[in-house]
Amino acid sequence: MAETYKQLREYNNIFNVLLVLHVIVIAIGLGAAFYMEHHGHIVTGMNNQIVWGLPHVFAVFLIVSASGALNLASASSVFSKLAYKRFARLSAILAISLLIGGLAVLLLDLGRPDRLIIAMTHYNFKSIFAWNIILYTGFITIVGVYLWTMMDKTVTRYNKIAGWGAFIWRLILTTGTGSIFGFLVAREAYDAAIMAPLFIASSFVYGMAFTVWVLITMCQATGKRLLTRDVSNKIRELIIIFIAAMLYFTAVHHLTNLYAAEHTGVERFILWSGSVFTWLFWGGHVLIGSVIPMLILMQPNFGSSRAGLIFASVLMLLGGMAHIYVIIIGGQSYPLALFPGMEVTSTFQDGQFAHYMPSLPELLLGIAGISIAMFMTGFALKLLPFLPSPVADGK
């Protein structure tokens, strides 16, 4: 029987170049974080109105994607879809890497990143944020154990249990991430339980996009075929369903908000006002991130080809960033209703739409988060047999 997994040993310069590029980006990102830490957040575009900026957009995007990156592993272990078994290890290591990339950005954007030990030792169990810290560390641990059961024959019998554990944990994790926003009762753009399933559906899409991105990059880097036509086709169909689910929850979220008079203001602001968020929502999230990838993937031949899949994935990732940007920045930009129905002004920008222009250090830190995830995955592939073995031509 041919071995299912391979350690990355033979690769061309694309891999080396990418690895070096990621190291450079990480170094620049760390420099940017140090610059922000040294001078304070005054050097960022964030302020007392937009308190979570671009780093949070990257961080949440990566954390949500991490959960979705586990899709192929879950499909093989939990739903017994053996066609995906070859990708289970890569799926798991990518999930861990994406989460660490996201957490690194989140940590480095704290006002006091030096107080990590406090964040790890002081817990307010009423805080969904504190629960998320537990969910993140738990995710890394459980997926780590899951990987172990995939790789060590002496514990293979526990693979199914570990797979189920990781599957349930990832759903809880994304529910927790969505609830960070869902629990904000005073912010009209959030304050909705549907944020949790919306984040879960979105995680499926972004996680799959990252998985496809890494798989096809590795096809290029090894010069081998890692995906059969059959699997490419299955992935294509899966992504279509996931995008449809994400659009469904997006539609329900906005339509239910439009029904309630108290939320029509914020909905008009996001969906109709012509602000940057309107463009990012319709142009970025809906068109580039959902409709066009769906149309590409609906073409059976082109959609399951390497070019079609990578094209759709890049669009999904760009659309995903736009989606999270609209949620995080757009939601804060809409003013709080201190005195509903009244016109309110102050020196603290009450009653005004808050403006936000991300600064370069924020962007560099955010991109470094992606590079951390990609570098970790690439390094892990060199270290242990995580990569699926190449398939014979013609399959």
Partner 1 sequence: MISLKPDDRKSEKADREAENDGSRRAFLKGAAAVMAIAPGMTLYAYGTKDAVAKPLDEAATRKNRWGLLIDAAKFTDADVDRCVAACQKENGWKNTGHPLTDAQWIRRVNITNKKTGEHFSLPMMCQHCAEPPCADVCPTGASFRRDDGIVLVDKHICIGCRYCMMACPYKARSFVHEHLEDQKSYAPRGIGTVESCTMCVHRVDEGRQPACVEAAPQGAMVFGDLNDRSGKLAQLVERVATQQVRADLNLDPGVRYRNI
Q: What is the closest distance, in whole angstroms, from the C-beta atom of residue 381 to partner 1 in the complex?
A: 33
Length of the chain: 395
b/e for 331-348, b at 16 or more Cβ within 10 A?
A: bbbbbebeeeeeeeeeee
Radius of gyration of the chain (CA): 21
DSSP output for 36-93: HHHH-GGGSS--SSS-S-HHHHHHHHHHHHHHHHTHHHHHHHTS--GGGGGGHHHHHH
DSSP output for 175-201: HHHHHHHHT-TT-TTS--TTHHHHHHH
For residue 333, give the H/E element and its range.
helix 331-333
- CB nearer to partner 1: give 301 or 345: 345
CB 386 within 8 Å of CB 69: no
Q: What is the closest distance, in whole angstroms, from the C-beta atom of residue 109 to partner 1 in the complex?
A: 9
- CB nearer to partner 1: give 3 or 114: 114
CB 229 within 8 Å of CB 394: no
- CB nearer to partner 1: give 180 or 212: 180
Residue type, 148: W
- CB nearer to partner 1: give 154 or 339: 339
- CB nearer to partner 1: give 15 or 190: 190
Q: What is the closest distance, in whole angstroms, from the C-beta atom of residue 129 to partner 1 in the complex?
A: 4
Q: What is the closest distance, in whole angstroms, from the C-beta atom of residue 350 to partner 1 in the complex?
A: 6
User: How far is C-alpha 321 from the geometric centre of its chain's CA atoms?
Assistant: 9
- CB nearer to partner 1: give 56 or 89: 56
Q: What is the closest distance, in whole angstroms, from the C-beta atom of residue 357 to partner 1 in the complex?
A: 11
Give the burial class of 319: count Cβ atoms within 10 A of its Cβ; 0-12 exposed, 13-18 middle, 19 or more buried: buried
Which residue is listed with tokens 């078994």? 85
- What is the CB neighbour count within 10 angstroms for residue 197? 20
Q: What is the closest distance, in whole angstroms, from the C-beta atom of residue 335 to partner 1 in the complex?
A: 9
Can you read off the two tokens belonging to residue 201? 């559906």
- CB nearer to partner 1: give 106 or 317: 106
Q: What is the closest distance, in whole angstroms, from the C-beta atom of residue 13 to partner 1 in the complex?
A: 41
Q: What is the closest distance, in whole angstroms, from the C-beta atom of residue 361 to partner 1 in the complex?
A: 13
Q: What is the closest distance, in whole angstroms, from the C-beta atom of residue 195 to partner 1 in the complex?
A: 13
Of 182, 287, 206, 201, the closest CA to residue 249 belongs to 201
**What is the C-alpha separation between 281 and 262, in angstroms, rounded?**
21
- CB nearer to partner 1: give 113 or 144: 113
CB 266 within 8 Å of CB 188: yes
Strand pairing report for 5-6 and 387-388: antiparallel
Q: What is the closest distance, in whole angstroms, from the C-beta atom of residue 274 to partner 1 in the complex?
A: 22
Can you read off the two tokens belonging to residue 211? 């998985």
- CB nearer to partner 1: give 48 or 154: 48
- CB nearer to partner 1: give 248 or 259: 259
Positions in the binding site for partner 1 (CB under 8 A): 37, 39-42, 46-49, 51-52, 110-113, 115-116, 118-119, 122-124, 126-130, 132-133, 180, 183-187, 332, 336-339, 341-350
